[in-house]
Amino acid sequence: MKVVDTPQKMRELAETLRREEAPLGLVPTMGALHEGHISLIDRATSECGAAVVSIFVNPAQFAAGEDYDTYPRTYHADLEACREMGVACVYAPRANAMYPGGYDTWVDVPGLGAPLCGARRQGHFRGVATVVLKLLAACLPHRAYFGEKDYQQLVLIRRMTRDLDLGVEIVPCPIVREDDGMALSSRNAYLSADERSRARAISAALFDAKKKVAAGERLSAAIIQACVDELEEAGSRVDYVEIVEPATLERVETINGAARMAVAAYIGETRLIDNILLEPDDEA
Amino acid sequence: MKVVDTPQKMRELAETLRREEAPLGLVPTMGALHEGHISLIDRATSECGAAVVSIFVNPAQFAAGEDYDTYPRTYHADLEACREMGVACVYAPRANAMYPGGYDTWVDVPGLGAPLCGARRQGHFRGVATVVLKLLAACLPHRAYFGEKDYQQLVLIRRMTRDLDLGVEIVPCPIVREDDGMALSSRNAYLSADERSRARAISAALFDAKKKVAAGERLSAAIIQACVDELEEAGSRVDYVEIVEPATLERVETINGAARMAVAAYIGETRLIDNILLEPDDEA
């Protein structure tokens, strides 16, 4: 397994991998790999001729006051996991190789970046779109794998790659959950035992919403209110609960087709997100 | 010569050209080809294994009220010129293939896009950066050729390709001028005979500025004022005259090293731009 730390060296290697081991797959990560990441990497290594995993905690996507400095970093364990899974290359650039002095180019998807997390995390999706474009440009993959856990990110990156003619297939991968339903996230490491127990309410509230739709409820307002109530009863502070159209992220008032329900909530100081697909033809 | 009209078809062909006829060169144009473009194409075909010329009048870089609708279009003559010069492929997408419904991704280089033409043409450089990224993504060149006539564009595109790790070499090419010094531009076609005669004042004022520097003048304010006076005497309306640092485009008060002097002025209704390199060691 190669480990590469600059865009220039990555691109040079990527040109060869793309040509000789097509299709080339990329799994972009911020490290602190958990079973969610492992499922993406597993899919990339099994579907592609070669897989690149990028590990980069991207300062541009953290707003002021967020957890850039404390974000979990488990670099050596991440490398070992990638090696065991047969990854061809880990791309782990330093921040000053990605954003050298005078850096001043930004990619924006204003419509899809505005609602949900975009309304709360100033500049977050500009940072995400920019770094993903840079990773795609350096790694030259045919396919890139993104988890549905960061649903808004997935939708926005898919739009960006289509709009900019990047010719990369964005492959969405299902959320990986703990036995109690909790979505895996590197930020779960922030939770105390008590918080971890309360955090279960987030996925539970989403599964309850799905059941309500299966039982015939169609009004978003009612489903959202029930979800907010459940979260507050569990002692979490709700950031948002919304039901949106899956591709445009526009709010849905009445559930007539597939919709995505998305939640952001604080458990103690830790902000967690989760989401679920709602379908009116779900069976009760 | 191939003529390709969608990003998908262009990318497919580009993958082959890039592999089999490296290096691949791109000359991005808005058509209405003149000797300035011809010099870029000539350089690309002679230096590269294959050259792609893109022809696309990019609506995203025209501000409201500008000349998008009337911009000169000479498509069939352009194709013939490319064919004669041994161009491998002309990429001529339609606007709705470049910006389909729901299009919403934009590339911005805020610092370099702010001064000079950026301060006058709302959204212009966002449109330029976005379309050039799309052209580079579809055509996959090793090198792309840009004229120094659009100096701010050249500097901004060079920054964008470096910042985004695109791995493309941006090749700057000197301004091509008429016998009387006037810089070639597709917009020169707008000028009446009388206006064409008066337009000569723009390049003449720049050459006079270069002589002043050669004679020892170092104060930008004095050089700029003389230029403004010359342009107004010739009956043109000055949009801006500035002397800037060549890479950062920051204003230069005293000319101690290489600087770029840039002019935008209206001759009648036609807005023209030109620029020149000033160097304190120019000989008188």
pLDDT tens for each residue of B226-266: 999 999 999 999 999 999 999 999 999 999 999 999 999 99
Question: Is B37 a residue of the active site?
Answer: yes
Question: What percentage of residues in chain B have a pLDDT greater than 70?
Answer: 99
Distance from the Cα of residue B10 to its chain's centroid:
23
CA dist., res. B222 & res. B114, Å (int)? 24
Give the amino acid at B21. Answer: E
Dump pLDDT digits (tens) for A197-255: 999 999 999 999 999 999 999 999 999 999 999 999 999 999 999 999 999 999 999 99
pTM: 0.97
Q: What is the pLDDT of residue A281?
A: 81
Strands ordered across the beta sheet of A259-267: A237-244, A259-267, A270-278
CATH of domain A186-275: 3.30.1300.10
CA dist., res. B20 & res. B49, Å (int)? 8
Q: What is the pLDDT of residue B181?
A: 98
Distance from the Cα of residue B280 to its chain's centroid:
25
Dump pLDDT digits (tens) for B3-47: 999 999 999 999 999 999 999 999 999 999 999 999 999 999 999
Dump pLDDT digits (tens) for A42-72: 999 999 999 999 999 999 999 999 999 999 9
Q: Where are the beta strands (DSSP E) in B225-280?
A: 237-244, 259-267, 270-278
Which residues in chain B touch residue A105, judged by CB atoms under 8 angstroms apart? 107-109, 129, 159-160, 163-164
CATH architecture of B186-276: 2-Layer Sandwich (3.30)
Measure B229 CA to nearest chain A CA, in Å: 36
The matching CATH number, chosen from 3.40.50.1580, 3.40.980.10, 2.40.50.140, 3.40.50.620, for A2-173 is: 3.40.50.620
Dump pLDDT digits (tens) for B38-68: 999 999 999 999 999 999 999 999 999 999 9
pLDDT for A283 beyond 90: no
Contact (CB<8Å) B105/A163? yes
3-state DSSP helix/strand/coil % of chain B, to nearest 5: 45, 20, 35
Distance from the Cα of residue B50 to its chain's centroid:
22
Tell me the CA distances in angstroms from A58 to A31, A90, B262, one per residue in order: 10, 16, 37
The beta-carbon neighbor of A165 closest among B11, B159, B164 is B11
- Identified catalytic residue from B37, B76, B124, B142: B37
Measure A137 CA to nearest chain B CA, in Å: 5
Dump pLDDT digits (tens) for A143-178: 999 999 999 999 999 999 999 999 999 999 999 999
Q: What is the pLDDT of residue A284?
A: 56
Confidence of residue B283 (pLDDT cuts 50, 70, 90): low
Contact (CB<8Å) A159/B105? yes
Question: What percentage of residues in chain A have a pLDDT greater than 70?
Answer: 99
Confidence of residue B208 (pLDDT cuts 50, 70, 90): very high
Strands ordered across the beta sheet of A143-147: A2-4, A89-91, A50-55, A24-29, A143-147, A169-173
The domain segmentation of chain B, as residue ranges, is 2-173, 186-276
CA dist., res. B188 & res. B195, Å (int)? 9
Measure A156 CA to nearest chain B CA, in Å: 9
Q: Which residues of A touch B (CB under 8 A)?
A: 7-8, 11, 19, 102-112, 129-130, 133-134, 137-138, 159-160, 163-167, 248
Average pLDDT across chain A, whole number: 97
pLDDT for A17 beyond 60: yes
CA quadruple B120, B124, B129, B132: dihedral sign: negative
Measure B61 CA to nearest chain A CA, in Å: 16
Q: What is the pLDDT of residue B281?
A: 81
Chain B CA closest to residue A134? B164
CA dist., res. A40 & res. A79, Å (int)? 15
CA dist., res. A69 & res. A59, Å (int)? 9
Chain A CA closest to residue B100? A163
Residue with tokens 């050669």: B214
Q: In A35-140, where does DSSP find H-type helix?
A: 35-47, 75-84, 95-98, 110-113, 117-120, 124-139
Which residues in chain B touch residue A160, judged by CB atoms under 8 angstroms apart? 105
Averaged over A121-131, what is the pLDDT? 97
A-B CB pairs within 8 A amount to 81
pLDDT for B128 beyond 70: yes
Q: Which residues of B touch A (CB under 8 A)?
A: 7-8, 11, 19, 102-112, 129-130, 133-134, 137-138, 159-160, 163-167, 248
